[in-house]
Every structure is written in C-alpha cells, then in structure tokens.
Amino acid sequence: MSDTRHRTPGPGVSGPSLTVRPLEGCGGVRVAGEIGLATHSIWERVLEQAVRGGESVYYLELSEVTFVDVAGAGALVAAAERLEDGRRFVVRRPPPALRRVLKMLWPHLPAIEVATS
Amino acid sequence: MSAAAEPLETVQEHFVHPALFYRDEGEYLDGTVSFVREGLAAGEPVAVAVPGDRLRLIRDALGADADAVRLLDMREAGRNPGRIIPGVLRAFADTCPAGQRVRIIGEPIWAGRSAAEYPACVQHEALINAAFQGRTVTILCPYDAVRLPGHVLADAYATHPTVIPAGSRTVRDSEAYAPDAVVARYNEPLPLVADAMTVPFAAESLPSARHAATEEGRRLGLTGITLEDLALATAELTTNSVLHGGGAGVLRIWAEGGHVLCEVRDGGRLTDPLAGRRPASRDQRGGRGLLLVNLIADLVRVHTGDEGTTIRCWFAR
C-alpha cells in the first residue's frame, strides 16, 4: 500500500528554532538551528546587530546551523552590503546549503569570507 | 550625408534574435563563424553557447580568434533551459558596457533533447524576446534543419522575429512570430504520478517536508551536492507555496530513469513568465528562490493556471 509513503506531518511537530549565543574572545555569535521561513526574523535581528557593531571582523559561527534557505542567504548578503568599508563578516563552518546558494547566486562578495575551520 | 553612411546602430533594432537554419556542417560554420567574425571586427563582446561537439567545430574554424570569444558547452551551461537567460545570456551580456552591442550564439535545442525537456526549451526561446526587449544584444540561434522534427522547426518561426533560411545569408522577418502564444501553448499540464512519496505541507511543516524530501532523495540514490540541491529546491518551492501559493501545497518525490524528481503543487497562479529567469541583483530582496531552482536543477517544468501551479524539477542521480 502507498499509505506508508504518504506522510502527513502531525500537529505535534515542534516548531523550528534558532538559538544565538555570543562568541567568547571575539566579536560575533554562535548560531544553532535552521534558517528558514519560521526563523528569518531571528536571523535578521542577528545580522542587524552585526551591522551596527563596530568590529572590523564579525564572526558568524554556523557549525550548528543545519540549513539556510535562499532568503536567509539573501539577508546575509544584504547585511554584508551595508557594512562600512574595511569591515567584513567571517562565516565559520556554514552548512553546505549556504555555501551552495552564495556560490550560485552571489559569487563575488568581498565582505563575506567563508571559513571552513 | 547619404543614408548609406549612417552607422549600423541607428538602423538596427535594439534587440535582434534570428534563427539560423542549417543542413550540414558547412552551412553551420558559414553562418556562425561569419557572425562571430563580424562581431569581433566591430569590437563587440562575443559569446558562443552551443553543444560541445559543435563548439569544437566553431573553435577550430576561428583559430586564434577563438581566444577573444567566450565559449560555453550548452549541454552543461544550458542543460536546464530555464537557466539559460540568467546563467548564460544575461550572465555574459550584463558584464559588457551598457549601450555596446553584444553578440551571442545560443543553441538551446538540439536533436536528442527529450520530450520532457522540449516544452521548457521552446518556452525559453520565446521568453528571450521579453527578457532582452530594448537591449543592444544580438542572439543568433542555430537550428539543425535535417535532424530536428518539423514541429520544432515550425516553432522556431514562432519564437524568432527573424529567420535565416537554410542555405541563405539573408535575414527575413518571420511571418509566424508569436512568442506569447508559444509560451501559452507549451504551458502543458503535468499529470499526477502514481507512485510518488507524497507530503502535504503548510507553514509549520516546511522543515519536516524538506527533511522527508532529503530522506527520500537519499533512498532513491542522490548523494553529496545533488542531495543538498534537492533539499534547497524543496525548501524554495514549498516556501513559495506558503508565501504566494495559498499557504499550503503538496510535495511529491519519485525517481524516473536516471533522475530523481521533485514536484510541488499549490493553489496559486504564476503570473510573471520571467520569474526565476532574472539574475540575482544585490539591491533586490526576496524572489530569488525560483532562480536558484533553475540554476541547480537539470530541468524545471512549470504548469500554471486558474486551477493552481505545479513546478517539477529533475536531478540526475
């Protein structure tokens, strides 16, 4: 029967969340969770704060982020565009989806450095 | 000053989009190489995007001049016809100085394009006209008059304002030019597939729908970057349904031959025929999801109407 292949996510599915903690020892945050429709507003607040800060390098530690959609990547790009000259984001260990989207849609962005370690 | 002394630009239409019909290698090279050389002589940026075997023919015929031309294998760069405008044609034209004429040879339709691909190919050819309206760009589209079926050759007369008949060097107006009618005619229904994994979704279940797609894609043989691409396409299409397609939809994943297919149906209607075919700009927020799907999938087919919208995409496994 095809019933086993027909999946209806029940109402008990817990909503996705994004947790944000400050990084110790350098300017930036450690983000954990998924960046999608339900968490865009949290992600945009993180980026807004990053733009307002004065650090020349702002670290976004994303090793515990499992997914970023196009709108989430676009928000990162828009924030990086607003950085004053000489400031930049370092995105640490992002999920494959973010690297893929940046490469496909915005391949030439000087203000975002993607670090794999 | 006589009229004959007027520079070509004031006489020529801004956007020029002829179909070039050829019957053999000789006619192919005759039409394409002269087009490239004219452009180079006029100092125009020139790109050639044709299937790899024919790209080699043109490159060899150009000799040292080939170094000044951007050469792309259309089987790769234009595998999905939906990405040719943003990823090939505008990707090249937009890097050239505004106002300067740009020349491109684009051959998106070759013998061997599948029945699933063809409607997307011909819609792409029709939409080039709207995408480049008013721009100083010339796009020459070669058609294999021997190996392509008659209806494909007839469609080329409807998607191109001008044509160069086989064996001719003269550009003629196409009496049959009707690009909007072509887009509408090939807006073909995509019938339901019986044995697909089926996941209804709404806003709160977007993440679980994506997880289900990834699991099924892995089970059906996708790995690595292609599995990531399936997850991204699923996320973008389902999110679009939630935001623009009535708040909910149904996701289906299945395999067909060498591909894994991902399909999203919703109750919305896609009104912008160029959606997903404009390059990402830095100042525009949102609306880039369908563009990404076009760039990463091997084929994207769309059916839209009053009864809803279906978007189906193919990923090679």
pLDDT digit string (tens) for chain B, length 317 residues: 444 444 444 456 799 999 999 999 999 999 999 999 999 999 999 999 999 999 999 999 999 999 999 999 999 999 999 999 999 999 999 999 888 999 999 999 999 999 999 999 999 999 999 999 999 999 999 999 999 999 999 999 999 999 999 999 899 999 999 999 999 999 999 999 999 999 999 999 999 999 999 999 999 999 999 999 999 999 999 999 999 999 999 999 999 999 999 999 999 999 999 999 998 776 555 679 999 999 999 999 999 999 999 999 999 99
Calculate the alpha carbon distances from B168 to B31, B146, B163 in Å.
9, 15, 10
Phi, psi of B207 (to 5 degrees): -65, -40
Which run of H or of E encompasses B304? strand B299-305
Cβ-nearest to B292 among A2, A16, A70: A70
Cβ-nearest to A37 among B198, B239, B285: B239
Spatial CA neighbour of B160 closest among B17, B16, B14: B17
Is there a contact between A110 and A80 (Cβ–Cβ < 8 Å)? no
ipTM entry: 0.89
Whether chain B has a CB inside 8 Å of the CB on A27: the answer is no
Domain ranges of chain A: 20-115
Q: What is the CA radius of gyration of chain B?
A: 21
pLDDT for residue B3? 44
Chain A residues in contact with B292 by the CB 8 A cut-off are 70, 101, 104-105
Whether chain B has a CB inside 8 Å of the CB on A100: the answer is yes
Is there a contact between A57 and A88 (Cβ–Cβ < 8 Å)? yes
* End-to-end CA gap in chain A: 47
In total, chain A counts a number of residues equal to: 117
pLDDT for residue B279? 87
Give CATH for domain A20-115.
Answer: 3.30.750.24
How far is CA A87 from its chain centroid?
18
Query: From the CA of B109, how many Å to the nearest CA of chain A?
Result: 24
Q: What is the CA radius of gyration of chain A?
A: 16
Phi, psi of B43 (to 5 degrees): 75, 20
pLDDT for residue A53? 87
Residues 6+ apart with CB under 8 A from B267: B245, B246, B248, B249, B308, B309
Check A13 against B291: CB less than 8 A apart: no
Q: Please report how the helices A70-82 and A96-105 are oriented relative to each other, as an axis angle in degrees rounded to 10.
A: 70
Domains present along chain B, CATH in parentheses:
3-185 (3.40.50), 197-316 (3.30.565.10)
Question: Which residue from A minimizes the CA distance to B214?
Answer: A67
Q: ∠ at Cα B182 (B109, B190), nearest 5°? A: 80
Q: Considering all CA atoms of chain B, what is the largest pairwise distance in Å, rounded to the nearest integer?
A: 73
Give the three-class secondary structure for A22.
strand
pTM score of the predicted model: 0.92
Could you tell me the two tokens for B73?
């294998």
pLDDT for residue A112? 83
* Range list of H helices, B3-51: 8-11, 25-41
Whether chain A has a CB inside 8 Å of the CB on B91: the answer is no
Could you tell me the two tokens for B213?
């797609």
List, for chain A, all residue ranges whose pLDDT scores fall below the cut of 70: 1-16, 117
Is there a contact between B238 and B251 (Cβ–Cβ < 8 Å)? yes
